[in-house]
Amino acid sequence: MKCLALAPLLLLAGCASGPLDVPPAEPVPAAWKNAAGFPAASPDRDLARWWKSFDDPTLSRLIKDGLANSPDIASAVARVRESRAARKATAASLFPSVSGSASGGHGFTDPRGGSLTTSKSYSAGLSASWEADIYGKNRNNLLAASSDLGATEESLNSVRASLAAEIATAYVRLRSSEAGLSVLERNIKTQEETFQFVSWRTKVGEADQYEENQAKTSLEQSKAAVPSLRQSIEQARNQLALLCGRAPGALDAMLAGATGDVPVPAQRLAIGIPADTIRQRPDVRVAGYQVLSSVARTEAAKAERFPSLGLSGSLGVNALSARKIFDPQAVSGSIVAGLAGPIFDAGRISANIEGRTAATDQAVENYRATVLTGLSEVEDALIACKRSAERLEIIRNAAVLARESDRLARLQYEAGELDFLSVLDSQRTLLGLEDSLLSTQADRTNAYIRLYQALGGGWSA
């Protein structure tokens, strides 16, 4: 059976809040295919503060604020409390239940032709019941509840890692838009100077109206992109406020007062081996706990086939006066043992076992799919880190050449050695390359953010 491969999980789930050393659903690679240039990290390397590697105090402050104030985090914490309470309620089934009672009465009797007589009575008692867990049904239900608690705690870790990555990605988008606006405004200033020069040449007869219109059109096209970038900046600020659990505009002052470039990832990021990543990814750990929970519930369903032994007892006193309530002669007690088992249930228990077994098979396949997804996400992120770095280097060199070409084109046009169309082409080429440069810088940073998240975000227990 597939779940036998995950049997070691059962030995590790006695306490869901403890560490879960999740074995892989199938053999995992000994090393990453695309990890060339990334040094190997020790298995216990802590990535829980990975964003500090970007050396951006504003980013660190935003993520800290988000982890402390996000409604999603608060909701996940509440789910952990709910799951912990459910486990405590399930654990209570292993112990006897005891209840007490007390009563007092005052009666009147009217015999024929006689006078009224009164009578009093007092009673108190304790009763207890307990189901002997002979076949482990209650223990397996407790194991399932413990595993549910572990899955809920790991889900909280997953929410934290995802939130940190979302905040970092939104912050990169904000800084990228701000940098793009700065580049655009610089190019607009250059185009304005070019337009003024073309207008002067038109007035003195050295250029025609066509050249002036072209210069004006190019300038207006650049200006038309400004509102779109300002919109992106404002929306990115609002998204950051939302992710941090704040009202729109609450972070504007902090973000506007700390403008900067796109965060740059560390030059050398240490990563662990695939097996370490599988152990520390919260989603894999959630899937592992779900397998444990499903297996335990299947075993509890199987225990329904066997008889259950119930013990009950009572201890009570009955007296005619309050003073005799503690009289030993007024005490009475009883102990009863009962054995009950299914004889005919029209296949209900068998159907329940079959359903639980199918649910376990689903949990095992989900665990396997989660492991494979985790391995694929890390490889994809490693590829993105490498290729975006290569692309960035190429575009950076091209942008340097484009700036020099644009400068020379304007000088040659002013000297009458070059036509105006060549100047427009050089300006468009420069603006396009500078946009690509900013976009690629953001892509590289986002690739590292995805890599950190794919590695588990450091949220291991």
Q: pLDDT tens, 381-414?
A: 889 989 999 999 999 999 999 999 989 998 998 8
Residue spans per domain, the chain: 2-96+134-306+348-454
CA dihedral of residues 12, 16, 17, 22 (deg, nearest 10)? 50
DSSP for 8-75, please give it: GGGGG-SSTTS---PPPSS---SS-TT-TT-PBPPTT---TTGGGGG--HHHHHHHHHHHHH-HHHHH
Q: How far, in Å, CA of 461 to CA of 459, rounded?
A: 7
Predicted local confidence at residue 333, as pLDDT: 58
Q: How far, in Å, CA of 67 to CA of 260, rounded?
A: 23
Give the angle subtended at the CA of 325 by the CAs of 321 and 331, to the nearest 5°. Answer: 125
Q: Spell out the CATH class of 2-96+134-306+348-454.
A: mainly alpha
Cα of 373 vs its chain's centroid, Å: 15
Q: What is the pLDDT of residues 159-208, one digit of tens each?
A: 998 999 999 999 999 999 999 999 999 999 988 988 898 888 888 887 78
Helix/strand/coil for 319: strand
Output the CA–CA distances (angstroms, integers) from residue 384 to 2, 57, 345, 389, in the order listed.
Answer: 35, 25, 58, 8
User: In the beta sheet, which residues pair with residue 127?
Assistant: 99, 314
Q: What is the pLDDT of residues 105-143, one digit of tens each?
A: 666 665 555 556 666 666 666 676 767 777 778 888 899
Q: How far, in Å, CA of 375 to CA of 369, rounded?
A: 10
